[in-house]
Structure 1
Amino acid sequence: MQADVSVIIAVYNTMPYLTECLDSVVSQTIGPDRMQVVAVDDGSTDGGDKELQRFAELYPGLFTVLTQEHSGGQAQPSNRALSMATGRYVFFLGAGDHLGPEALERLVSAADTYDSDVVLGRTIGVNGRNVSRAVYESTRPEITLDDSPLAWALSNNKLFRRELVERHGLRFPEHMPLWSDQPFTLEACVRARRISVLADYDYYYAVRRDDASDVGSRTPHLTRLRCTAEVMKSAASLIERGTGRDTVLRRHFTWELSKLLDQDFLTLEPERQDDVCAGVGALAEAYLTPGIVAKLDRTRRVKLLLAQVGLADELRELIRRERDGVGSAVVVTGDGVYEALPGFGTLPNHHFALPGSAAGLLRIDDVVRDEDGILTGRLPLVGASSVRVAFLPVRKGRSQDEDITGCYKLAEGHVPPFAEPVAAEQHDDHLAIKVHVPYASLTKSRADRAKIFVPRLYVRVANVTYQLPLPQLPGPSTSVVRWRGGKAFRITLGDDSQGNLKIYVSRMSRLKAVRRALRRMRRRKHS
């Protein structure tokens, strides 16, 4: 009797996770009579081959176990197992992952009900494993690459109709040590009459192993680049130019290629950096269409375009800024607002455009205070129409931190509180600002109780007003004493729990104030 499903497992050094994987297979509610398990040990050195033999002995007739020398990837053992599969469907199971008990029964039933060639079951990341879950938002009897996030789920942990696989001669490319399942899965999806997705059950548990968090990240950059080029070439050969191809290729630009330009790029030798830059640039030249560019976030887009035109130094600088948390200036011109990432002024301006809010980029850096109560700092902004400051009292009954937020865009028509102009000197990449702490007005209190003030900077950028908190001053809190109407006040420049500047004003006894002044006079005299 023909099995309903052949479970294919390529095994290489996945103990002790392999045990849970195999336990989940033999516990399937579909039952051993409807299953075939073909497992190929690819030269494991951790006892995985012995564990496979143990299960084969415990469940005679269910397991077919093959062993071979290590091939360097999952392609060869998967192909070898596939050649021995006899089930109506095949299912590929990672040797470190496991299944929900009803997974295979539900998948086969859905494939038969919907007459599907490919069926996806909801996949869950375990132990921090990153899994794209967008495609599993709802059960759908039919999806395509165009109308779903299927392009972001091209791993082979799916149910495939074996007749489809054999009719088109689908196999894993054995020259690819990484991601050889993607060309297989993509072609199966392109050739399939129907693809279904099931979101009603946790079918597949993708496990992040403690000893191997991300095989891709541990593989040399040039190997990853070569394999990504193969995946993209395969996609381009299967899908005609247009939005469908763009949908698939955008995933590779966003994920595999962008990961090559992450912080670990800077750990490479300069020659290797240039090689990676050139390789990524060649793929961008071949496949990066305007439609894909328009859907990439700004930083990814600029990285890829810098590689495409060979600006390796600017690319290095952008990755370095990203690593070090160094922001770029906001530039306001007559035709728009832009983030001045490396390459701005060389690449077309529209790639750097800020079509929405600039709130996430506006900040005040390097704030210091002098003895006269003047705060100076840098605002990475070129072309602001106005900068003002207000010292707002924290209202009674509110927590001390409630008023402190990051920079945000004020609603249209919202009028900020009364604010004083700020001295601002424009430089090439920033505004140098000076803010006077209004000691006299801060001591205008009708009661003797302490008061708290929060300084706010209001910046007008392209007809939009933004509110920014001032960051805390470096070092410990500083305080000064000011007199008003014979009363002494201590004014302390401190900070809140979020690292923003806050000003605390409290009454001080005359005796303490005089003693403090005398101590300071003596220190100045001896210094």
Structure 2
Amino acid sequence: MSSTAPDVTVIIGAYEAMPYLIRCLESVEAQTLPAGRMEIVAVDDGSTDGTGEYLEEFAARTAIEMRVIRQENSGGPSGPRNVGLGLARGRYVFFLDADDYFGEEALERMVAMGDRAGTDVVLGKVVGVNRGAAKSMWKETVERADLFTSNIKFTLSAQKLFRRDLLVRLGMRFDEELKTGEDALFTMEAYLRGNGVSVVADYTCYYLVGRDDGKHVTKSGSYVLRFDSARALMSLIATHVPPGPKRDVLMVRPFVITLLPQFGPALLRQSDEVRQEKMRLAAPLLETYWSPGLARRLKVNERLRLLCIAKGRLDLLLDILQFVRDKKEPRAVRKGLRGRLYLVYPHFGEGVLPLSAYELTVREWVGRKRIDVPGPQSAAAFLRRLVGKARRTVRSAGLHMPRRAHKV
């Protein structure tokens, strides 16, 4: 083993990873970063499909320094990653899933970026193979991305380059109690407590592979685990960011990405017992972390669903979900002197939910039509709108409203 610390330790936690593991390891070996500047720490988490044997075979013939650890199944990805992290010697670590693979220049580009910018986390562009992948954060390469104004907050998977000194200094480890969302918790902490985040967007660094055998870890687990994940991430954000606009910006991620999918149209097909249990699990999260500032950063149907949960109104929530499942398009109406725009979802104007819950506060698409938040409205425009509404009301009643006489 070399006495010189490598630039990167590639940590691979592998469970039942064949045959995907073959391309994964080939992509490490094909890196333009020289073999002497990296090492592999691979942890076989109790596989029975030949994963452990293949790791040992590869280690015996590769020019890259490689350690293979074989252990009993730990029940999730956190354990193997923590084992790998404990053995890592590199200046940086990269957590590579055994299903996925690198672009050839990935490590060289990301290490160069981290060294140039002095940042503790480097994001390399990710694309999906046989599955979707987030896209909004890859618009441009930036040496220092702002967590609160950029979309990096919406990519919290562990497949990133982390400066090992940060992880050691903070004693960071993956939470082995969490069975899903453990990577989001780890990555968000690094974002919040590290010395900046860089983005490499002009080269595809990582290929995220969708397995066709149904064994991908993110597809497993009960809904209770999703609530555990949301609770942990919300608590982390609240610990490190005081109440206010910045916290509201970050809270969008756990509320919309982690919590809300549990209250999508699929809820209509679930038993009343499951529905009630989900409401019970979500209620304290809304009570603790919901804020008006967060509410205004959401789309109308997102805000309405969360407000129904906060109020304990499963009946109203089901009405809104039925509307969404039926692919009905909400009508847009303007009200008030300021000309605010509202989307007419179920129970609009009935008083059971506040009118503000229906207000358009962020850009949305309704069907194929984009709807932007309207600008301020003048008093004259308000009056014209009132007159127009009055004329339409009169016409619908079959009456005639005389026009104002023109001066001669």
Name which of 78, 81, 84 aligns with 2:84: 81
| Secondary structure at the counterpart of residue 168 of structure 2 | helix
| Secondary structure at the counterpart of residue 10 of structure 2 | strand
Residues 192-233 of structure 1 show CA distances to partners (whole Å, capped at 9, x for unaligned) of: 223211122111111222233975454321221122111211
| Secondary structure at the counterpart of residue 137 of structure 2 | helix
Is 2:315 the partner of 1:313? yes
CA–CA distance in 1 between the matches of 2:276 and 2:18?
38
1:378-527 to structure 2, matched below 5 A, reads 386=392
Per the alignment, do residues 309 and 217 of structure 1 end up closer, same or farther by CA in structure 2, a change over 3 Å counting? farther
Q: Which residue of 1 aligns with 2:346?
A: 341
CA–CA distance in 2 between the matches of 1:340 and 1:147?
30
Name which of 114, 118, 121 aligns with 1:115: 118
Per the alignment, do residues 386 and 164 of structure 1 end up closer, same or farther by CA in structure 2, a change over 3 Å counting? same
CA–CA distance in 2 between the matches of 1:14 and 1:46?
8
Identity of aligned residues (%): 36
Q: Which residue of 2 aligns with 1:58?
A: 61
In the TM superposition, residue 169 of structure 1 has moved relative to its aligned partner by: 0.2
Point out where structure 2 has 5 or more consecutive residues left out of the alignment. Answer: 368-388, 399-408
Specify which structure has the higher proportion of strand: 1
Is 2:34 the partner of 1:49? no
| Secondary structure at the counterpart of residue 245 of structure 1 | helix
TM-score by length of 1: 0.65
In the TM superposition, residue 32 of structure 1 has moved relative to its aligned partner by: 1.6
In the TM superposition, residue 99 of structure 1 has moved relative to its aligned partner by: 0.5
Q: Which residue of 1 aligns with 2:141?
A: 139
Per the alignment, do residues 341 and 92 of structure 1 end up closer, same or farther by CA in structure 2, a change over 3 Å counting? same
In the TM superposition, residue 386 of structure 1 has moved relative to its aligned partner by: 3.5
Q: CA RMSD for the aligned pairs?
A: 2.8
Q: Is the 8 A contact 1:338 1:349 kept in 2?
A: no
Q: Which moved more, 1:160-169 or 1:285-294?
A: 285-294
Specify which structure has the higher proportion of helix: 2
Per the alignment, do residues 321 and 13 of structure 1 end up closer, same or farther by CA in structure 2, a change over 3 Å counting? farther
CA–CA distance in 2 between the matches of 1:163 and 1:115?
12
Q: Which residue of 2 aligns with 1:489?
A: none
Q: Which residue of 1 aligns with 2:405?
A: none
Counterpart AA for 1:315: L
- Greater RCO (CA < 8 Å, at least 6 residues apart): 2
Corresponding pairs, count:
370
In the TM superposition, residue 296 of structure 1 has moved relative to its aligned partner by: 0.4
Point out where structure 1 has 5 or more consecutive residues left out of the alignment. Answer: 362-382, 388-420, 425-527
Residues 375-425 of structure 1 show CA distances to partners (whole Å, capped at 9, x for unaligned) of: xxxxxxxx99649xxxxxxxxxxxxxxxxxxxxxxxxxxxxxxxxx8899x
Per the alignment, do residues 340 and 201 of structure 1 end up closer, same or farther by CA in structure 2, a change over 3 Å counting? closer
Q: Which residue of 1 aligns with 2:359?
A: 353
Per the alignment, do residues 254 and 358 of structure 1 end up closer, same or farther by CA in structure 2, a change over 3 Å counting? closer
CA–CA distance in 1 between the matches of 2:20 and 2:100?
7
Counterpart AA for 2:258: E
Is 2:107 the partner of 1:101? no
Q: Is the 8 A contact 2:30 2:104 kept in 1?
A: yes
Per the alignment, do residues 300 and 384 of structure 1 end up closer, same or farther by CA in structure 2, a change over 3 Å counting? farther
Q: Is the 8 A contact 1:339 1:354 kept in 2?
A: no
Q: Which residue of 2 aligns with 1:178?
A: 180
Q: Which residue of 2 aligns with 1:158?
A: 160
CA–CA distance in 2 between the matches of 1:149 and 1:175?
28
Residues 18-76 of structure 1 show CA distances to partners (whole Å, capped at 9, x for unaligned) of: 21111101111112211110111112233222221221122266221112222221111
TM-score by length of 2: 0.83
CA–CA distance in 2 between the matches of 1:220 and 1:3?
40
| Secondary structure at the counterpart of residue 136 of structure 1 | coil
